[in-house]
C-alpha cells in the first residue's frame, strides 16, 4: 500500500484528487498494487471534496499531514518559500515528493534534488513544464539515447492565446489581454505569463535536463510579448511567418543558449500551427531528429494527468524497493556540469525590425544607411498605409550579428525621422539535422 499526502487543493490539487478517485481502478490495475490518499492539507477548498474521502482526510492543518507516515508528499500550493519548506521537510522525513512548482525548481532545484539524492527519495516534476504533456519523461527517458541538439517550445498557453487572438480578431495587445482575463485564461496580475517569466522557469528546467546542468530561470534571457502589435502579426503573416513566444534551448560552443522571446517561425512549421491556449514543444535529438509534443499546458485535469503519472512512477519505485532509477536531472550527479550561458549579443540570425517613422521621402535611405554601416543586409521591406504622425516601416534582414543589429537600432532610434522605439523580433530557422 502506497500512502500519499497532498498539500494544496487549488485548481491543480482538486484535479489531482478527483483524478485519483475517478480513475482509482485503472490506476491500481496498472500499478498492480493499491494506493491510499491518506491526508490532504489545504487552507481553502471546495467542501464538496470532503464527500470523496473518509472523515478527517482533508485538514486545514498541514502539521497533521506531516504526522502521517507518507510514502509520497505532493506539493501543489505553488509559490516559493512555504513550498520549499514543505518539500525539504517531506524529503527529510524520507518521503518522495511530486510537485508542479516550476518557479521553485528553476530557482532552488539543485538544493532540492541534492537533498533527495542524499535521502534516497524521488522527486517527480512532470507537471512543471507543459501541463499535461509528458515532456519531462520524453527528455529524461524516451529520448535518452540522443544528444539533445535543441528544444523549442510554446510553453505558456496564456501568451499563445493572446498572440493567436490578436491576429484572428485584429485586436490590440491590451484588448486581447483584457479578454483573456475576462475568460479566466490570464491572471489579474498577468506578468508571469506576458513578460515571459513563466516560460523562463520552464525553459530553465528543460535546459537543465537536456544538457545535464543546473540552469536557473535568472540565467534565461527573457523577453515578453507586450510590445507586439497586431500589425506585426499581420506583417509576419504576409512574409510567411507566425509570431510565437518561444522557450529556446540550444548548445553553442560549450555554452547553453537559453532564451524566451517572441520569435518568427515559418508558417509551415509544426509549432506555428499550434494556436490558442495549447502548448507545443519540439525536441531535436541527433539520432531521432525532431519529435513534437502538443497538448494542454495548463488546467486542472491536464496538469493532474502529469502529477498522477509521477505518483504512479514513484509508487512503482517504492513497491519494487528502488529509488532514483531515472536520475532527477536526467544525468547522475557525478555528471552534472556547471555551464555558462550564451550572451544574446553573440547570436547571429535574421531579424524582423519594425520602425516607427514619419511618412516622407528619404526615410528608408537614412535607415538603410545606418544598417549598411553595420554590415546588415536588407532582405525585404514593407510599408503599408499612410499615417499622419508616423507609419510602421518593416524590414527583414539577412543573417546578421545581433550585436550589430542592436547598435544600429540605437542609432536609428535617435534619427529625427524615427518616432518611437524600434521593435526587434528574432527569426528562428532551424537547419536540417545532419
Ligand atoms: N500560466 C501558465 C500558462 C500555466 O498560461 O500556460 C501554468 O504554467
Which residue CA neighbors atom 2 of ligand 1 most closely? 156
Distance spanning both ends of the chain, measured CA to CA: 49
Query: What is the C-alpha separation between 234 and 59, in angstroms, rounded?
Result: 52
pLDDT the model gives residue 313: 97
From the CA of 57, how far away is ligand 1's center (Å)? 29
Q: Identify which of 15, 129, 157, 187 to mutate to test ligand 1's pocket (most ligand atoms within 8 A of the CB).
A: 157
**For residue 343, what pLDDT is reported?**
96
What is the predicted pLDDT for the residue at 324? 87
Q: In what order do the strands lie in the sheet with 35-41?
A: 58-59, 35-41, 2-7, 72-75, 96-99, 123-124
Query: Is the CB of 78 within 6 Å of ligand 1?
Result: no
Closest atom of ligand 1 relative to the 156 alpha carbon: 6
* Per-residue pLDDT, 431: 72
Per the CB < 8 A criterion, the answer to whether 240 and 195 are in contact is: no
CA distances from 350 to 124, 343, 376, 418 (A): 39, 17, 10, 22
pTM summary value:
0.95
Q: Give the Cβ contact number of residue 25 at 10 Å.
A: 8
How far, CA to CA in Å, does 233 sit from each of 185, 194, 243, 268, 382?
21, 16, 6, 15, 13
Provide the phi-psi class of 225: left if phi over 0, else alpha when psi is between -120 and 50, else beta.
alpha
Q: Which residue lies with its CA nearest to atom 7 of ligand 1?
A: 298
CA torsion 363→396→192→158, rounded to 10°? Answer: 120
Per CATH, is 135-296 categorized as 3.30.360.10? yes
Q: How far is CA 205 from CA 93, 202, 341, in A?
A: 25, 5, 14
Report, in angstroms and rounded to the nearest whole number, the Rg of the chain calculated over CA atoms.
24
Q: How far apart are CA 72 and CA 257, in angstroms?
A: 35
Q: Which residues lie closer than 8 Å to 261 by C-beta, 6 or more apart?
A: 196, 221, 222, 223, 245, 246, 248, 425, 426
CATH fit for domain 2-132+300-335, picks 3.40.50.620, 3.40.50.720, 3.30.420.300, 3.90.1860.10: 3.40.50.720
Domain boundaries, the chain: 2-132+300-335, 135-296, 344-427
Per CATH, 135-296 and 344-427 having the same topology is answered no
Give CA–CA dist 25/118, Å, rounded. 34
Kindly give the confidence (pLDDT) of every residue in the chain, 434 residues in length, as a single tens digit, with 9 standing for 90 and above: 999 999 999 999 999 999 999 999 999 999 999 999 999 999 999 999 999 999 999 999 999 999 999 999 999 999 999 999 999 999 999 999 999 999 999 999 999 999 999 999 999 999 999 999 999 999 999 999 999 999 999 999 999 999 999 999 999 999 999 999 888 877 778 999 999 999 999 999 999 999 999 999 999 999 999 999 999 999 999 999 999 999 999 999 999 999 999 999 999 999 999 999 999 999 999 999 999 999 999 999 999 999 999 999 999 999 999 988 899 999 999 999 999 999 999 999 999 999 999 988 889 999 999 999 999 999 999 887 666 678 899 999 999 999 999 999 999 999 999 999 999 999 999 776 55
Any ligand 1 atom below 6 A from CB of 280: no
Amino acid 186: pLDDT: 78
Q: Does ligand 1 have an atom closer than 6 angstroms to the CB of 297?
A: yes
Cell numbers 491572471 label which residue?
Answer: 187
CA distances from 82 to 104, 316, 339, 382 (A): 10, 28, 29, 52
**What are the catalytic residues?**
202
CATH node for 344-427: 3.30.70.260
Cα 157 to ligand 1 centre (Å): 6
Nearest atom in ligand 1 to 155's CA = 6
Atom of ligand 1 nearest to the CA of 159: 5
3-state SS, the chain, equals CEEEEEECCCHHHHHHHHHHHHCHHHHHHHHCCCEEEEEEECCCCCHHHHHHCCCCCEECCHHHHHHCCCCEEEECCCCCHHHHHHHHHHHHCCCEEEECCHHHHHHHHHHHHHHHHHHCCCEECHHHCCCCCCHHHHHHHHCCCCCEEEEEEECCHHHHHHHHHHHHHCCCHHHHHHHHHHCCCCCCCCHHHHCCHHHHHHHHHHHHHHHCECCCHHHCEECCCCCCCHHHHHHHHHCCEEEEEEEEEEEECCEEEEEEEEEEEECCCHHHHCCCCEEEEEEEECCCEEEEEEEECCCHHHHHHHHHHHHHHHHHHHHCCCCCCCCCCCCCHHHCECCCECCHHHCEEEEEEEEEECCCCCHHHHHHHHHHHCCCCEEEEECCCCCCCCEEEEEEECCEEHHHHHHHHHHHCCCCCECCCCEEEEECCCCCCC
CA–centroid distance, 178 to ligand 1, in Å, is 16
pLDDT on residue 212: 95
Does the C-beta of 132 come closer than 6 Å to ligand 1? no
Looking at residue 83, its pLDDT comes to 97
Looking at ligand 1, which residue's alpha carbon is closest to its atom 4?
Answer: 298
Residue 185 Cα to ligand 1 midpoint, Å, equals 9
pLDDT at residue number 79 = 93
Amino acid at each position: 500500500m502506497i500512502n500519499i499526502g497532498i498539500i494544496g487543493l487549488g485548481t491543480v490539487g482538486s484535479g489531482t484528487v478527483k483524478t485519483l478517485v475517478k480513475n482509482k481502478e485503472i490506476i491500481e490495475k496498472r500499478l498492480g498494487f493499491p494506493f491510499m490518499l491518506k491526508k490532504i492539507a489545504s487552507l481553502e477548498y471546495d467542501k464538496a471534496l470532503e464527500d470523496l474521502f473518509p472523515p478527517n482526510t482533508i485538514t486545514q492543518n498541514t502539521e497533521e499531514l506531516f504526522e502521517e507516515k507518507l510514502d509520497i508528499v505532493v506539493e501543489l500550493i505553488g509559490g516559493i518559500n512555504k513550498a520549499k519548506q514543505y518539500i525539504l521537510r517531506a524529503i527529510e522525513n524520507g518521503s518522495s515528493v511530486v510537485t508542479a512548482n516550476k518557479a521553485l525548481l528553476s530557482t532552488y532545484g539543485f538544493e532540492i534534488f541534492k537533498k533527495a539524492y542524499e535521502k534516497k527519495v524521488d522527486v517527480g516534476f512532470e507537471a512543471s513544464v507543459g501541463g499535461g504533456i509528458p515532456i519531462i519523461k520524453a527528455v529524461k527517458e524516451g529520448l535518452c539515447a540522443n544528444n539533445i541538439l535543441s528544444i523549442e517550445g510554446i510553453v505558456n498557453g496564456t501568451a499563445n492565446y493572446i498572440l493567436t487572438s490578436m491576429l484572428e480578431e485584429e485586436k490590440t495587445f491590451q484588448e486581447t489581454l483584457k479578454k483573456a482575463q475576462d475568460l479566466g485564461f490570464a491572471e489579474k496580475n498577468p506578468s508571469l505569463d506576458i513578460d515571459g517569466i513563466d516560460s523562463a522557469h520552464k525553459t530553465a528546467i528543460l535546459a537543465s535536463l537536456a544538457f545535464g546542468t543546473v540552469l536557473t530561470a535568472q540565467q534565461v534571457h527573457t523577453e515578453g510579448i507586450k510590445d507586439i502589435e497586431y500589425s506585426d502579426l499581420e506583417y509576419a503573416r504576409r512574409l510567411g511567418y507566425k509570431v510565437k513566444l518561444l522557450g529556446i534551448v540550444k548548445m553553442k560552443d560549450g555554452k547553453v543558449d537559453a532564451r524566451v522571446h517572441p520569435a518568427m517561425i515559418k508558417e509551415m512549421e509544426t509549432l506555428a500551427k499550434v494556436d490558442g491556449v495549447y502548448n507545443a514543444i519540439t525536441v531535436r535529438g541527433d539520432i531521432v531528429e525532431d519529435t513534437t509534443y502538443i497538448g494542454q499546458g495548463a488546467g486542472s485535469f491536464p496538469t493532474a494527468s502529469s502529477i498522477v503519472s509521477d505518483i504512479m512512477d514513484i509508487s512503482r519505485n517504492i513497491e519494487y524497493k528502488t529509488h532514483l532509477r531515472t536520475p532527477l536531472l536526467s544525468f547522475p550527479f557525478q555528471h552534472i556540469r556547471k555551464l555558462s550561458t550564451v550572451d544574446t549579443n553573440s547570436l547571429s540570425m535574421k531579424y524582423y525590425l519594425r520602425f516607427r517613422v514619419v511618412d516622407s521621402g528619404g526615410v528608408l535611405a537614412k535607415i538603410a544607411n545606418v544598417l549598411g554601416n553595420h554590415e546588415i543586409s536588407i532582405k525585404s521591406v514593407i510599408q503599408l498605409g499612410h499615417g499622419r504622425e508616423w507609419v510602421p516601416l518593416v524590414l527583414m534582414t539577412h543573417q546578421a550579428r545581433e550585436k550589430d543589429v542592436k547598435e544600429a537600432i540605437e542609432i536609428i532610434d535617435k534619427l529625427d525621422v524615427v518616432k518611437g522605439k524600434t521593435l526587434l523580433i528574432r527569426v528562428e530557422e532551424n537547419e536540417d539535422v545532419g
